[in-house]
């Protein structure tokens, strides 16, 4: 049993879709969330810049006495997990490994699609894990650079010709290739579940990378006797690097509930 | 006569549309350009963050011996020009003042539209200048948050249903209000000239804010005898804050010519 909180970070607020699942599967855990809203997005930036920014994100979270850190960002998970992980230090979980393993284990025909930011797709990180677990899998990866700004502008509803046109362009080849399992490799994408499901068809299994890392963390805490006491109600502390002004409204969209806890701005470039 | 270069900066590469015009009207001038590609976009961020970032941008440019600085960014021009300008220091030109003055002087019916980023529209900066020059003008402002990511993803062509749908949504009310002069208040927007003109109609005058500040600077240099010698061929030096990898391809789109000069990455957070 371990009372210490879990640290979670993302380039912005997309990672709150992972926190949403954490709140479901680990309702007793305290969570400290940092969103780098002053430098979002990461998915269009270079490897070195993503490593620099995410190192500062982790340095900030390490100022708390945590039991684990979750990288609720597909881009950072794909690019910087190894750099951020120090032996004999607290465990850090990215979204790639648990999501790719789940995809490999899905009892379907092994035609797996991966959609994510440009930076994530460039790394081939999902493919490496899947091939290790299921060498004969057929993999189809596609960067979807407009999905993040479209989600952030609220273009998530079926029937919106803008998101439907863009989604059809990005997903056309994956559908033509008969993909039956599709990894949503960016924590913004779960807000597009309806649009993506409508296009791909109901028989395609969609894997939400934020939810997968939350489930994986829950297993880990149970196996290592690190879960919070069952009578503890999880508390949440929010931190961002830009103004806190519009945080509550935006965060509610990703978190799927009203956000009432206070939020604090920090100077991430100093970490 | 003054041999010193002109410094130009933008949150990213949109400001190169201003450099394109500078190269036309001031072909003898040397130009040092900085694009903050590691922290772009600015237009969705808070006032304080925009002031912090643009202060560092100007501090970097001040390490050169310049005769003037051009803020080729609508957002910074609207929010931070006063903060960045020090008396007895080198002159700094933003896009708002010259573009708003031109709009006020345009001999039309005084129904003026302004499109720009959310941060720019929030300030009301264009409106203040226009009202000073033409108090009876009818002004209609509209933030267009998806235009920057759509331009950066190459969605600029007439016939593209995505950009045409988004443009129609943003411009619908301005058109209904009978706007006859439209300020493109963000240096990304000139790449959407055809799409915007098709929707608004050929009778509406479009004002390119990057081109307006370039023309204004040309006048200023002539009047103050600060122009470069007529036998000097302008040289260009490029700096960015993220990787230089994709700079040449992207820059060519905004600049309208192949970019062959070298580009250097700098650590803008240290300025």
What is the per-residue pLDDT across B222-245, written as a single tens digit (0 to 9) for each? 999 999 999 999 999 999 999 999
Query: DSSP secondary-structure letter at B26?
Result: -
Could you say which of A45, A145, A243 has the minimum Cβ distance to residue B49? A243
Q: A107 pLDDT exceeds 80?
A: no
Closest of B224, B245, B261, B211 to residue B31, by C-alpha? B261
Note if B73 is an active site residue: yes
pLDDT digits (tens, 9 = 90+) for A29-75: 999 999 999 999 999 999 999 999 999 999 999 999 999 999 999 99
Q: A88 pLDDT exceeds 80?
A: no
Q: State the average pLDDT over residues A239-261.
A: 94
Q: A271 pLDDT exceeds 80?
A: yes
Nearest chain B residue to A167 by CA distance is B162
Catalytic residue among A24, A144, A186, A235: A186
Max Cα–Cα distance, chain B, nearest Å: 50
Cβ of B46 and A146 within 8 Å?
Answer: no
- Please tell me the distance from the alpha carbon of residue A26 to that of residue A217, in angstroms, as a whole number: 9
Strands of A6-10's sheet in order across: A92-93, A68-71, A6-10, A31-35, A236-240, A263-265
A-B Cβ pairs (cutoff 8 Å, strict):
52
* DSSP-derived 3-state class of residue A125: helix
Residues 6+ apart with CB under 8 A from A105: A133, A134
Closest of A161, A147, A159, A160 to residue A191, by C-alpha? A147
Which residues in chain B touch residue A45, judged by CB atoms under 8 angstroms apart? Answer: 37-38, 242-243
Closest of B162, B160, B165, B124 to residue B143, by C-alpha? B124
**Hey, of B75, B156, B269, which one would you mutate to test binding to chain A, going by the most A CBs within 10 A of its CB?**
B269
Verify cis geometry, omega within 30 degrees of 0, for the bond prior to B41.
yes
- Please tell me the distance from the alpha carbon of residue A59 to that of residue A62, in angstroms, as a whole number: 5
Q: What is the ipTM of this complex?
A: 0.94
The sign of the CA dihedral B206, B70, B145, B255 is positive
Distance from CA of B4 to the nearest CA of A (A): 32
The sign of the CA dihedral A182, A185, A190, A192 is negative
Which residues in chain B touch residue A149, judged by CB atoms under 8 angstroms apart? Answer: 145-146, 149
Q: Residue B232 burial (CB < 10 Å; 0-12/13-18/19+)?
A: middle
Could you say which of A49, A153, A245 has the minimum Cβ distance to residue B242? A49
Distance from CA of B3 to the nearest CA of A (A): 35
* Residue reference for tokens 């270079």: A46
* Residue reference for tokens 């600085």: B69
Q: A109 pLDDT exceeds 90?
A: no
Query: DSSP secondary-structure letter at B227?
Result: P
Note if A186 is an active site residue: yes
Question: Which residues of chain B fall short of a pLDDT of 70?
Answer: none
Cβ of B161 and A166 within 8 Å?
Answer: no
Cβ of B48 and A243 within 8 Å?
Answer: yes
**Hey, of A12, A13, A35, A44, which one would you mutate to test binding to chain B, going by the most B CBs within 10 A of its CB?**
A44
Distance from CA of A51 to the nearest CA of B (A): 12
Domains and CATH numbers, chain B: 6-94+211-270 (3.40.50.1860), 96-209 (3.40.50.1860)
Give the global pTM. Answer: 0.95
Please report which confidence band the pLDDT of residue A108 belongs to, taking 50, 70 and 90 as the band edges.
confident
- Please tell me the distance from the alpha carbon of residue A183 to that of residue A267, in angstroms, as a whole number: 33
- Please tell me the distance from the alpha carbon of residue A100 to that of residue B241, in angstroms, as a whole number: 33
pLDDT digits (tens, 9 = 90+) for A174-223: 999 999 999 999 999 999 999 999 999 999 999 999 999 999 999 999 99
- A27 near A214, Cβ under 8 Å? no
Which residues in chain A touch residue B39, judged by CB atoms under 8 angstroms apart? Answer: 38-39
Cβ of B153 and A165 within 8 Å?
Answer: no
Please report which confidence band the pLDDT of residue A162 belongs to, taking 50, 70 and 90 as the band edges.
very high
Could you say which of B49, B146, B153 has the minimum Cβ distance to residue A38? B49
pLDDT digits (tens, 9 = 90+) for B4-54: 999 999 999 999 999 999 999 999 999 999 999 999 999 999 999 999 999
Q: A103 pLDDT exceeds 80?
A: yes
- A46 near B242, Cβ under 8 Å? yes
């Amino acid at each position: 049993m371990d009372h210490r909180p879990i640290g979670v970070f993302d380039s912005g607020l997309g990672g709150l879709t992972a926190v949403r699942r954490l709140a479901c599967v680990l309702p007793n855990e305290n969570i400290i969330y940092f969103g780098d809203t002053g430098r979002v997005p990461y998915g269009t930036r270079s490897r070195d810049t993503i490593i620099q920014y995410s190192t500062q994100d982790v340095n900030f979270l390490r100022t708390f006495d945590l039991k684990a850190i979750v990288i609720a960002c597909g881009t950072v998970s794909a690019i910087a997990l190894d750099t951020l992980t120090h032996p004999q230090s607290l465990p850090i979980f990215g979204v790639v490994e648990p999501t790719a393993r789940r995809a490999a284990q899905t009892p379907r025909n092994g035609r797996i699609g991966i959609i994510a930011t440009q930076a994530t797709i460039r790394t081939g990180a999902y493919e490496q894990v899947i091939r290790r677990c299921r060498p004969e899998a057929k993999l189809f990866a596609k960067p979807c650079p407009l999905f993040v700004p479209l989600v952030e502008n609220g273009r998530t509803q079926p029937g919106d010709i803008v998101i439907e046109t863009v989604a059809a362009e990005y997903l056309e080849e994956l559908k033509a290739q008969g993909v039956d399992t599709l990894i949503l490799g960016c924590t913004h994408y779960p807000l597009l579940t309806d649009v993506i499901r409508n296009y791909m068809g109901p028989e395609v299994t969609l894997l939400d990378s934020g939810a997968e890392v939350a489930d994986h963390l829950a297993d880990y805490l149970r196996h290592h006797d690190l879960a919070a006491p069952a009578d503890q109600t999880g508390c949440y502390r929010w931190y961002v690097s830009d103004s806190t002004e519009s945080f509550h409204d935006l965060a509610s969209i990703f978190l799927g509930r009203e956000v009432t806890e206070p939020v604090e701005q920090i100077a991430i470039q100093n970490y």
